[in-house]
Amino acid sequence: MATAMDEYLGGVRRRIARLEVTVQRGTADARPRMQRYLNTLRRDEESARASTRERAVAVDERLEQLNNELELAEHRVAAEFAATRDQFMDALEAELRRWDVSLDQMQAKAAAKTGVARGRAEAVIADLRQRRVSIGTSVSYVGAAAGEGWRNARSRVLAELDELKSEADAAWRA
């Protein structure tokens, strides 16, 4: 599906093509002067296309991040309002799986970086992964807690997830 910008740039390209035809029909002494205009127009049109592609990539990345945030929030709401341990565990496990996906996506972005920036990003992601694994261990305590003890374990796990979220938010914005 073409965006409005693609359609606009397509129109620009067609207008340039019409000008080229007109210039080719012109006089020999006018063609070189007009060719400068055409060269500038082609260069500017390609620059605009490149800029549009770059922005599209940025928008795609932001939408991917927004989708991650939305899914994490949906799982968190389900966990927060779970009436039973089983409901809580299901929601929590879904949230942890989503964290795995988010961290994999962060890792892919870090791999595209170079030098010091890549090293810093990978160190942050390693720390986030370690915290995620630790939370997974805490989840097992929720499942194993006797009686109403699972509610205390639940509070600890939710607090740990809040800390993970805060750290990940800082990393995503860096």
The whole-angstrom separation of Cα 37 and Cα 18 is 13
Average pLDDT for 2-16:
87
- This prediction has a pTM of 0.72
Q: Tens digit of pLDDT for each residue in 79-121?
A: 999 988 899 999 999 999 999 999 999 999 899 999 999 999 9
The whole-angstrom separation of Cα 12 and Cα 10 is 5
- What is the signed CA dihedral for 137, 143, 149, 153, rounded to 10 degrees? 30
The whole-angstrom separation of Cα 130 and Cα 149 is 25
pLDDT value of position 174:
66
Q: Tens digit of pLDDT for each residue in 41-52?
A: 999 999 998 888
Domain boundaries, the chain: 1-81, 83-174
DSSP 4-61: HHHHHHHHHHHHHHHHHHHHHHS-TTHHHHHHHHHHHHHHHHHHHHHHHHHHHHHHHH
Q: Tens digit of pLDDT for each residue in 119-161?
A: 999 999 999 999 999 999 988 888 888 887 888 888 899 999 9
- Whose CA is closest to 58, among 109, 120, 115? 109
- Whose CA is closest to 99, among 58, 135, 63? 135
Cβ atoms of 36 and 23 within 8 Å: the answer is no
Q: How confident is the model at residue 2 (pLDDT cuts 50, 70, 90)?
A: low
